[in-house]
């Protein structure tokens, strides 16, 4: 069975790859008439950077916590104060609520996407390029949502669980937005 840190590292590498691909794609959409598409893809790229850095922080926190455990291995560790399996932490109250991001309903998406350029005004070559970008984004988003689902099942600390649930939901949100974008541009 795949371990937690193995999934974290695999997911981080995928986020890093996605960020590079997204940056390349954004460079191809410089014309002002693609501003709406570029803004949406820019938002997803920013979230990808956040996710990548969050995973680096999870891995570093895990490693630092293991070093601390080694330093104080003789001390009693309560089973219910777990950050990640095998890593103790004092449980803090979560009075700020969840970090979850809602997935917009269809009518909201319809309203949002009606401001995007029509396919008739986009040259065929650029339209095909946009379709390819969307197709690759969808592939990456689906894979990331799957990996965050696995991470969500592995972590036990409520803050990390909430982060993983929220990030998984955020990836699903991206997926829904991209599917709607693909639908608009004939993918």
Q: What is d(CA 145, CA 141) in angstroms, rounded to the nearest whole number?
A: 6
pLDDT given at position 1: 61
pTM above 0.85, yes or no: no
How does pLDDT run across 138-164, given as a tens digit for each residue? 999 889 989 998 999 998 878 778 888
Selected from 3.30.750.210, 3.40.309.10, 3.30.420.40, 1.20.1260.10, the CATH number assigned to the domain covering 4-184 reads 1.20.1260.10
pLDDT given at position 73: 67
pLDDT given at position 138: 92
Q: Which residues contact 42 (CB under 8 A, 6 or more apart)?
A: 26
Among 95, 101, 82, 102, which Cα is nearest to 154's? 82
User: For residue 63, what are the CA distances in angstroms to 51, 67, 90?
Assistant: 19, 6, 17
CB 168 within 8 A of CB 93: no
Q: What is the DSSP string of 46-64?
A: HHHHHHHHHHHHHHHHHHH
- For the chain, what are the domain ranges? 4-184
pLDDT given at position 121: 79
3-class SS of residue 121: helix
Buried b or exposed e, range 55-65, using 16+ CB within 10 angstroms: beebbebbeeb
- Spans in the chain with pLDDT lower than 50: 74, 76-101
pLDDT given at position 72: 75
pLDDT given at position 46: 87
pLDDT given at position 157: 77
pLDDT given at position 81: 37
Q: What is d(CA 28, CA 26) in angstroms, rounded to the nearest whole number?
A: 5
Q: What is d(CA 93, CA 159) in angstroms, rounded to the nearest whole number?
A: 10
pLDDT given at position 136: 93
CB 179 within 8 A of CB 138: yes
List the end-to-end C-alpha distance of the chain, in Å, as a whole number.
36
CB 48 within 8 A of CB 19: yes
pLDDT given at position 92: 20
């Amino acid at each position: 069975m795949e371990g937690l840190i193995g999934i974290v590292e695999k997911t981080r590498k995928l986020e890093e790859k996605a960020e590079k691909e997204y940056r390349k794609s954004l460079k191809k959409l410089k014309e002002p008439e693609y501003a709406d598409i570029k803004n949406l893809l820019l938002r997803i790229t920013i979230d990808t950077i956040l996710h990548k850095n969050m995973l680096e922080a999870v891995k570093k926190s895990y490693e630092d916590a293991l070093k601390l455990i080694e330093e104080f291995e003789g001390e009693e560790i309560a089973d219910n104060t777990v950050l990640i399996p095998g890593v103790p932490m004092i449980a803090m109250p979560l009075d700020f609520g969840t970090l979850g991001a809602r997935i917009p309903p269809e009518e909201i998406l319809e309203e949002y996407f009606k401001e995007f350029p029509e396919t008739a005004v986009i040259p065929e070559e650029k339209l095909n390029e946009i379709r390819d970008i969307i197709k690759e984004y969808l592939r990456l988003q689906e894979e990331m949502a799957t990996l965050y689902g696995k991470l969500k099942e592995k972590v036990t600390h409520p803050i990390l669980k909430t982060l993983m649930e929220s990030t998984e939901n955020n990836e699903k949100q991206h997926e829904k937005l991209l599917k709607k974008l693909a639908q608009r541009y004939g993918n």
